[in-house]
Structure 1
Amino acid sequence: MKQTGFWYRLDSAARAIIPFVLTLLLVLLSLLPFNTPDYAPVVPSLAMPAVYYWAVFRPDLLPLWATFLIGLVQDLLTGVPLGTGIMMLLVVHLAVMGQRRIFTNSTFPMLWVIFALFSAIAYTLGWGLAALLMPMMPSGDPVMLQYALTVASYPCLAWLLARAQQLFLN
Structure 2
Amino acid sequence: MTLTDHDPFAQPLPPGRARALPWATVIGGSTMTIVPVIAAVPILPPLGLLVLLAWRLLARFALRPWAAAPLGFVDDLLSGQPLGSAVLLWSLCFLGIDLVERRLVYRDFWQDWLIAAAAIMFCLAGGRVLAVPLTAHVDGAMLAQGCAAILLFPLAARLVAWIDRKRGMA
Sort the TM-score into its range (normalised by shorter chain).
0.7 to 0.9
Report the 3-state secondary structure (helix = DSSP H, G, I; strand = E; otherwise coil) of the residue aligned with 1:43: coil
Say what the alpha-carbon RMSD is for the aligned residues: 2.4
User: What TM-score do the two structures reach when normalised by structure 2?
Assistant: 0.79
The 5-angstrom pairing of residues 6-155 of structure 1 reads 11-34=14-37, 36-38=38-40, 41-101=42-102, 104-131=105-132, 137=136, 139-155=138-154
Count of matched residue pairs: 157
2-side partners of 1:73 and 1:60: how far apart? 21
Identity %: 21
Partner of 1:6: none
Give structure 2 stretches of 5+ with no counterpart: 1-12
2-side partners of 1:135 and 1:105: how far apart? 39
Give structure 1 stretches of 5+ with no counterpart: 1-9
2-side partners of 1:77 and 1:125: how far apart? 18
Deviation at 1:136, TM superposition (A): 6.3
- The aligned amino acid for 2:16 is A
Which structure has more RCO (C-alpha within 8 Å, separation ≥ 6)? Answer: 2
User: What TM-score do the two structures reach when normalised by structure 1?
Assistant: 0.79
Deviation at 1:135, TM superposition (A): 9.2
- The aligned amino acid for 1:14 is R
Task: Report the structure, 1 or 2, having the larger helix content.
Answer: 1
Deviation at 1:91, TM superposition (A): 2.4
Partner of 1:7: none
2-side partners of 1:55 and 1:100: how far apart? 11
Contact 2:58/2:161, CA 8 A, preserved across alignment: no
Contact 1:52/1:96, CA 8 A, preserved across alignment: no
Report the 3-state secondary structure (helix = DSSP H, G, I; strand = E; otherwise coil) of the residue aligned with 2:77: helix
CA spacing shift, 1:54–1:163, aligned 2, 3 Å: same
